[in-house]
A and B are shown apart, each in its own frame.
Chain A
Amino acid sequence: MRKRTVRSESLQLLRSILMIWIASSLLVSFAAAQKKDIAVVVNPNNSVTNISFADLRKLFSGGKRTWPGGPPVKLIVRAPGSRERLALLRILAMSESEYKQYWTAQIFRGEVDAEPFTMPSFGMVKEAIKVFPGAISLVDPDEVKAGMDLRVIKVEGHLPGEEGYPVH
């Protein structure tokens, strides 16, 4: 009887440890999913291979309007509700309503010609990047595959998944 109780207590302890381990891995998994890297992609003919985070902010806020080679920057963004959109808002330090108001103001000031293109899917983003030589967008790195007409560029010298990559 005593032996059986000890065994049961050991099992309970093991079960508790297992639960703690699973709970921690669960939290880590969710945290990783929340902070998943987002890739910056451009047209493959674009000569830029690496940009700073500050330049990325300038590009997506319409402050930088030409690429070093000359083609005008074409902003392609994902619709509200997508993870890429959240990454964009984090880059610009804006809420969704501030983002919309910002672009209305920029057009009204005459600083930019039009709002960025909003695309509902990765497929549309991919096609837009193929069409416009100066296109830039944010995409889920898992969607990018070899042979696609787009190129992932480094941000602050890092690619998505690498330590220190700043776009989440």
Chain B
Amino acid sequence: MRRRAGRMYWSAPLSLVIFLCLALARPASGQNSDSENQKAISSLLQQIKELQQHDRELQERIEALESKQNGVDQKDGAQRVLNQEKDQSGVQNLRAEGGQKSQETTSGQSQPPATGSVGSTSVEGEALAEGVSAQLHNFHGIQWRGFAEVDYKILNQRYAELGTYGFVPGSSGNFYTGDFDLFLASHLSERTSVLAEIDFEEHDAQTFKVDLRRMLFKYDLNEHFKLSIGRNQTYVGYYNWAFRSASWLQTTADRPLVMEYSSDGGILPTQAVGMFATGSIPSGKLGLNYVAEYGSSDTIRPDINADGLLNDENNSNYANLGFFMTPDRIPGLRIGGSIYHDQISDLISTPGGVTIGTQAGSTNIPLESERWNQTIVNGHVVYVSHGIEFLNEGFLIRHAPIGGGEIFNTPAFYSQFSRKLGPIRPFLRYQYVNASLENPIYNDVSLRYGPSFGARYDANDYIALKVQLDRTARRGLPDLSGLHFQLSGTF
């Protein structure tokens, strides 16, 4: 194999030399004598011989070096690898060196190498930079990541509304910092680990709320059974699983309304405390997976129209079961669905937490709120590969009063398409939520639909700039337009 490879490596340059010599030679004419041709051929043959000799010498040198390298104490070699994983002491030096080399090679980082490039400067520089990045994200065995965003959003209305981040009354445009997210994860043993996500979220008048978005004890037996206990994002929908709270991971500047966090005007129970089991089901090329959850998703949801009232849902324990498949034949495709069930109330409270009535209109004290069965059915078809992102999710949210009465079905969906073109990813999204005005749970939501389009520009591997234009039609209200700028990053 080596001999064959050696031939291949040298055949190209040799052919090139011969080709160039012949190509550059003047066209044959009467002035070119046979002796001149003979001379040229002899010269070329001589060059071939010299190159072959040089090749042999290089092969001998490589073999000598490799035998010397193989002779190095194996313990030393193993220690070096372990050092790369564990040693923290040289991080600063590595950072300086890696950063410098990385800068030198940035322009050529996606170019294929001329050879196997073992030990070449550019590869070493990239490896150092990547190694440094991995080491800096590993502090005494704790993996950490950070995500941040700064936004500026202009709306064509002057009153605040949740779900559009217009929380500065009287202003049609304002800056805000969105989610500032810190993520920590650490191994406790080979199969157990702990994970936490702390979110600092801006609210009205530059007040910030600290939210423990996730805190999970995890047990990973294998890919067929992974169990987590603690607080987590629910698996109601692909979006909640894929993007969590990190704007930087999202293509768009904001989440679709139906997948928005309830504190930001979202309508679904996106957070829960409980047990979460996931894993793959042996199914060959079908790539079937399951998700099973049980816990409490107790949610207090501010009215989306920002009237200042809160919907205290007092959710009972919920159960959620989902399946999805990732077929081998189409890498990047994911088709799945889930069904969620719990019971909720329709209590209304003030921002101070005082319950003042029910959505159905009762103001009796003590309040006897009506209890409702809530069932959320989700279906999604997602394709993310070859630079294409095509997300499609549909929901049917069913509210049925336990004592009998009118049943309300709220359909919702979003569809998002984007294509990466170098550092720019233009996107288009269309979303739709249609809640009945008679539905006491969602009487603030009503009908909302419309497109969003814009582009994400990745300045580097850590910073993204996004611009997004929204147009939302609302039942009984003027259409709402918004222009959203976002600077998001990871560190």
Residues of A within 8 A of B (CB): 4-5, 7-9, 11-12, 15, 18-19, 22-23, 25-26, 29-30, 32-34, 52, 54, 57, 63-66, 72, 78-84, 86, 93-98, 100-101, 104-105, 107-110, 113-115, 117-124, 126-128, 130-131, 140-143, 145, 147-149, 161
Would you give the 0/1 interface string for B1-32, flagging 1 where the beta carbon is closer than 8 Å to chain A? 11011001101100110110011010111101
Q: Whole-angstrom distance from the CB of B99 to the nearest CB of chain A? A: 14
Interface size on B, residues (CB 8 A): 91
Q: Are B118 and A143 in contact, with the CB atoms below 8 A?
A: yes
Q: Are B113 and A29 in contact, with the CB atoms below 8 A?
A: no
Q: Whole-angstrom distance from the CB of B64 to the nearest CB of chain A? A: 14
8 inter-chain pairs at a CB distance below 8 angstroms, sorted by A residue, are A8-B30, A15-B25, A29-B12, A33-B9, A63-B326, A66-B223, A83-B116, A107-B145
The 3 closest A-B pairs by CB, nearest first: A79-B127, A120-B127, A54-B328
Q: Are A82 and B116 in contact, with the CB atoms below 8 A?
A: yes
Q: Whole-angstrom distance from the CB of A88 to the nearest CB of chain B? A: 13
Residues of B within 8 A of A (CB): 1-2, 4-5, 8-9, 11-12, 15-16, 18-19, 22-23, 25, 27-30, 32, 34, 37, 66, 69-70, 74, 77-78, 80-82, 84-85, 105, 108-113, 116-120, 122-124, 126-128, 130-131, 134, 137-138, 143, 145, 147, 183, 185, 187, 190, 193, 195, 214, 216, 218, 220, 222-223, 228, 241-242, 244, 246, 249, 280, 285, 326, 328, 331-332, 385-387, 420, 423, 458, 461, 490
Measured CB to CB, the nearest residue on chain B to A140 is: B116
Q: Whole-angstrom distance from the CB of B164 to the nearest CB of chain A? A: 26
Q: Are A4 and B193 in contact, with the CB atoms below 8 A?
A: no
9 more A-B residue pairs beyond the given contacts A15-B28, A110-B228, A128-B81, with a C-beta to C-beta distance below 8 A: A4-B30, A8-B28, A33-B12, A54-B331, A81-B117, A113-B185, A123-B118, A130-B78, A143-B118
Q: Are B385 and A79 in contact, with the CB atoms below 8 A?
A: no
CA distance A65 to B117 in the complex (A): 29
CA distance A26 to B386 in the complex (A): 31
**Given A22-B19, A127-B81, A83-B117 contact (CB < 8 Å):** yes
Measured CB to CB, the nearest residue on chain A to B285 is: A54
Measured CB to CB, the nearest residue on chain B to A86 is: B112
Question: Which residues on the A side are within 8 Å of B458 (C-beta)?
Answer: 97
Q: Whole-angstrom distance from the CB of A40 to the nearest CB of chain B? A: 15
Central interface residue in A57, A63, A126, A131, by most chain B CB within 10 Å: A131
Q: Whole-angstrom distance from the CB of A6 to the nearest CB of chain B? A: 11
CA distance A119 to B74 in the complex (A): 17
Q: Whole-angstrom distance from the CB of A97 to the nearest CB of chain B? A: 6
Question: Which residues on the A side are within 8 Å of B126 (C-beta)?
Answer: 79-81, 120
Q: Are B29 and A108 in contact, with the CB atoms below 8 A?
A: no
CA distance A24 to B267 in the complex (A): 64
Q: Are B22 and A93 in contact, with the CB atoms below 8 A?
A: no
Q: Whole-angstrom distance from the CB of B139 to the nearest CB of chain A? A: 12
Q: Are B461 and A79 in contact, with the CB atoms below 8 A?
A: no
**Given A63-B223, A120-B127, A130-B74, A101-B249 contact (CB < 8 Å):** yes
Q: Whole-angstrom distance from the CB of A149 to the nearest CB of chain B? A: 8
Q: Are A95 and B185 in contact, with the CB atoms below 8 A?
A: no
Measured CB to CB, the nearest residue on chain B to A29 is: B12
Question: Which residues on the B side are within 8 Å of A114 (C-beta)?
Answer: 134, 138, 143
Q: Are B19 and A82 in contact, with the CB atoms below 8 A?
A: no
CA distance A8 to B32 in the complex (A): 8
Q: Are A118 and B110 in contact, with the CB atoms below 8 A?
A: no
CA distance A95 to B193 in the complex (A): 30
CA distance A119 to B134 in the complex (A): 12
Q: Whole-angstrom distance from the CB of A158 to the nearest CB of chain B? A: 14
Q: Whole-angstrom distance from the CB of B234 to the nearest CB of chain A? A: 14
CA distance A145 to B15 in the complex (A): 29
Q: Are A29 and B28 in contact, with the CB atoms below 8 A?
A: no
Q: Whole-angstrom distance from the CB of A99 to the nearest CB of chain B? A: 10
**Given A54-B285, A80-B130, A121-B119, A12-B78 contact (CB < 8 Å):** no
Q: Whole-angstrom distance from the CB of B350 to the nearest CB of chain A? A: 36
Q: Are B111 and A81 in contact, with the CB atoms below 8 A?
A: yes
Measured CB to CB, the nearest residue on chain B to A118 is: B130
**Given A30-B12, A93-B331, A119-B127, A81-B122 contact (CB < 8 Å):** yes
CA distance A22 to B117 in the complex (A): 27
Question: Which residues on the B side are within 8 Å of A32 (C-beta)?
Answer: 8
CA distance A4 to B32 in the complex (A): 10
Q: Are A127 and B15 in contact, with the CB atoms below 8 A?
A: no
Q: Are A66 and B127 in contact, with the CB atoms below 8 A?
A: no
CA distance A93 to B385 in the complex (A): 7
Q: Are B28 and A120 in contact, with the CB atoms below 8 A?
A: no
Quick one: which of B84, B147, B195 contacts A124, CB cutoff 8 A? B84
Q: Are B8 and A22 in contact, with the CB atoms below 8 A?
A: no
CA distance A110 to B4 in the complex (A): 45
Q: Whole-angstrom distance from the CB of B272 to the nearest CB of chain A? A: 15
CA distance A120 to B126 in the complex (A): 8
CA distance A149 to B75 in the complex (A): 13
CA distance A119 to B329 in the complex (A): 31
Q: Are B22 and A105 in contact, with the CB atoms below 8 A?
A: no
Question: Which residues on the A side are within 8 Å of B4 (C-beta)?
Answer: 161
Q: Are A120 and B123 in contact, with the CB atoms below 8 A?
A: yes
Q: Are A80 and B109 in contact, with the CB atoms below 8 A?
A: yes
CA distance A30 to B13 in the complex (A): 10
Central interface residue in A12, A19, A127, by most chain B CB within 10 Å: A127
Q: Are B131 and A81 in contact, with the CB atoms below 8 A?
A: no
